[in-house]
Chain A
Amino acid sequence: MTPKLKPILETIHPHRKSLHSVRELLLANAMMIGEIPASTGQEADRITFLSNRYTEDGLQNISVDEAGNGMAILPGKKGKRNILVCAHADTAFNHSVDHAMSVTADAIMGPGIGDNSLGLAAIVTLPEILKRLDISFDDNLILLGCTRSLGRGDLGGIRFFLENNKLPIRAGISVEGIQLGRLSYTAIGMLRGEISVNVPSAYDWAKFGASGSVAILTKVVQRIMEIPIPMQPPTQIIFGSISGGTSFGTRPTNANLRFEIRSEKAGMAAELKEKITDIIEEIESTSNAEIKFSAVAERQIGGLDYGHPMVKTMRQILETLEVKPRIEPSVGELSQLIEHGIPSVTLGLTRGKNKNEFNESIDIQPIFGGVAQLIALLQSVDGGLCDEQ
């Protein structure tokens, strides 16, 4: 441990304790944000909430860019460098879902509260938190609520920001509501794909072997599952959703599959993409159905080393909090930060359950440790402890 890190680590527990004084501010922000529906591409109302808060806190350069991202700068004492703190603003829930949050003494429940209302709330409450804890930085903090992160959004918000940003960014921190202990510092290779099967209306159902779209799609799934996948480096194909048909006895004409390939092996996602394309072409030619494959999103492998000072610092912060690090590669904002060569990590703020379900919930008590962790990391970056020598 560098001697400069010790005093920062020593403040983590006192900060955790002091943060109870901002409990209502933080939780109120989390719930008010959570109650604003924000499906991917429809985040404008949430971003307006963020911008209003930035204004109330007297931040600078408050702006909403062309991609809808909400940005503000908390100026540093010297302001020569910038640290980016970002959280995605979109949720997996559409506007028709009841977004009402409820709170007990120990937990908050409601769709998207952990992913990512709490993360966003931490960002908007951060200026007030720092003021109350009497913490200031030499560097500017760029606070960014990112739009179009999930699913088909394909990180559109952060992508736009990084492509057009003129400010030099020293380091990036992507904040997620859950899980506390999460430590992501690498981007995993990823391919997010959609396969749709359409049986033309002129299809000859009397033909030998004729089958509906569901059966054809099932055949595609079976064949994908037969592709040999290496255990190391870890590679996964996740079949995320499947839909098709309307009833018991009506031959289905449409079916749809959404899947994601994740691999820590360079080039593996591209290799699998090629194999899947071959399978589809083969089944299409034998079934006479139309099978379309579209790659919705792709990510390249990259990231920091386990021994990078930023990762090392985060491990020591978590150790101080007595939280076991959950090291997992990311397909979120982090992958874009890494692609732009910005040393970055993703961290989580508290424990939670039922992520992306209607009964999603977060525990209140661990949040204070989670925020103390964020502050300690910011102090470390600001103090130059996360720079590569």
Chain B
Amino acid sequence: MSNKIDKWLETNTFHHGEFWDILKLVEEKEKKGLKISLCIPTLNEEKTIGKEIVIFKSELMERYPLIDEFAVIDSGSEDKTLEVAASFGADTYLAADILPEVGDKRGKGENLWKAIYQLKGDIIIYVDADIKNIHPRFVTGIVAPLIHNDTIKYCKAFYDRPMAYSSGIRSSGGGRVTEILIRPLFSLFFPELTALIQPLSGEFAVRREVLERIPFPIGYGVETAHILDVYHEWGLEAFAQCDLDQRIHRNQTTNALGKMSFGILQTFINRLKSYGMVDKLPELATLYRQFQAEGNRYEQVTREIVEYERPPMITIPAYRKKYGIAD
């Protein structure tokens, strides 16, 4: 297991700096005849959406034609998100207007799902709209592994969260929900998936052949469901991940993260049910898997965590004797 994860980290984990040559990416994309679509799901993102559109359009459509199509799919913003997006020439859609015959559900997953119908690309890239330090790497980093390697079907972004570290080695991990909920769950039930450093990141690129075959929870569980379903069907080899350095975005409150965790947990347990794992729970693993980074090299750090349990005190003979408890 550890060897497989180490090998995967070696071959399928990238740094965006490896893909600085966008022209090369465009050439490879054209050689393979791939069409690439970019979807930005939005809900009240007027402060950041304009910059994302200007920079992606300039760098990835005008300067280098890496993206063939670019759409903002909105859940019904009440601010000027759509107005700003349209003013810079983005195609904007209300999720409710796409596939109206299936009805309208409110949630980010709905936008991601409807994008598969609306956009024509062989690869669809999803990028959240709340990124303050937007840069072309947020697209090139996650699409490049799919362009270069036909076996990779799903590429996730991960970010370096700067922490104080005194040596060259730094701990690397996801956000709070990943570290408190997802990583422990994956360590217990799907240890190979712990290799994904930030499974919940909102930036990922996926092949259409995968997207059209997996269900989409419309709420908080969409990223978790994707990972579990892609893993279940295609295995760890189908994944890649790319380090995009820093991502600056608004921080969520602990209350909001609690709601998110509740939604994710529902999705997770649903998946255990549908994989027939609920009444056949695997032997619970005792290895907890985290990661550390040295430069651009990532390695897993495993810790044996055995939750030993003591029996009720009343079953201990010495205790019974001391307190005169009869057998």
Contact = CB atoms under 8 A, between A and B. Distances in A.
A35 B133 contact: yes
Contacts of B87: 105
Residue among B87, B89, B248 with the highest chain A CB neighbour number at 10 A: B87
Given A24-B88, A25-B58, A103 B50 contact: yes
B88 A102 contact: no
Interface residues of B, number: 23
B63 A102 contact: no
Interface string A81-101: 000000000000000000011
Contacts of A24: 53-54, 57-58, 62, 88-89
Interface in B50-100: 50-51, 53-55, 57-59, 62-63, 80, 83-84, 87-89
Contacts of B55: 28, 31-32
A25 B59 CA distance: 7
Contacts of B83: 105
Interface in A8-38: 22-25, 27-29, 31-32, 35
Contacts of B135: 32
A201 interface: no
Interface residues of A, number: 17
A105 B133 contact: no
Interface in A275-311: none
B54 A28 contact: yes
Given A24-B88, A35-B133, A104 B58 contact: no
Given A25-B58, A25-B62, A100-B248, A31 B51 contact: yes
B80 A105 contact: yes
Interface in A299-348: none
A56 interface: yes
B320 interface: no
B321 interface: no
Given A24-B88, A104-B80, A104-B84, A29 B50 contact: no
Contacts of A29: 58
A101 B57 CA distance: 17
B46 interface: yes
B259 interface: no
B62 A101 contact: no
A103 B88 CA distance: 10
Contact of B51 (A23, A25, A56, A101): A101
Nearest to A110: B51
Interface string A59-76: 000000000000000000
B48 interface: yes
Contacts of B80: 104-105
Contact of A27 (B58, B133, B248): B58
Nearest to B89: A24
A22 B62 CA distance: 9
Contacts of B51: 31, 101-103
Residue among B48, B51, B63, B248 with the highest chain A CB neighbour number at 10 A: B51
B47 interface: yes
Contacts of B53: 24
Residue among B58, B59, B80 with the highest chain A CB neighbour number at 10 A: B58
A103 B50 CA distance: 5
A105 B50 contact: yes
Contact of A28 (B47, B58, B133, B248): B58
Given A24-B62, A24-B88, A103 B54 contact: yes
A22 B47 CA distance: 22
Interface in A231-249: none
A116 B83 CA distance: 28
A28 B59 contact: yes
Contacts of B232: none
B119 to A, nearest CB: 20
A365 B309 CA distance: 70
Contacts of B46: 104
Contacts of A103: 50-51, 54, 84, 88
B132 interface: yes
B58 A102 contact: no
B48 A102 contact: yes
Contact of B84 (A22, A56, A101, A105): A105
Interface in B112-140: 132-133, 135
Interface string B30-58: 00000000000000001110110111011
B226 to A, nearest CB: 30
B249 to A, nearest CB: 11
Contacts of A56: 63
A31 B47 CA distance: 14
Nearest to B86: A105
B47 A102 contact: yes
Nearest to B63: A25
30 contacts: A22-B62, A23-B88, A24-B53, A24-B54, A24-B57, A24-B58, A24-B62, A24-B88, A25-B58, A25-B62, A25-B63, A27-B58, A28-B54, A28-B57, A28-B58, A29-B58, A31-B51, A31-B55, A32-B135, A100-B132, A100-B133, A100-B248, A101-B51, A102-B47, A103-B51, A104-B46, A104-B84, A105-B50, A105-B84, A105-B88
Given A23-B88, A25-B58, A28-B59, 11 more contacts: A24-B54, A24-B62, A24-B88, A28-B57, A31-B55, A101-B51, A102-B50, A102-B51, A103-B84, A104-B50, A105-B80
Interface of A: 22-25, 27-29, 31-32, 35, 56, 100-105
Interface of B: 46-48, 50-51, 53-55, 57-59, 62-63, 80, 83-84, 87-89, 132-133, 135, 248
Q: Closest 9 CB pairs between A and B?
A: A28-B58, A103-B50, A105-B87, A24-B58, A24-B57, A28-B55, A25-B58, A100-B132, A27-B54
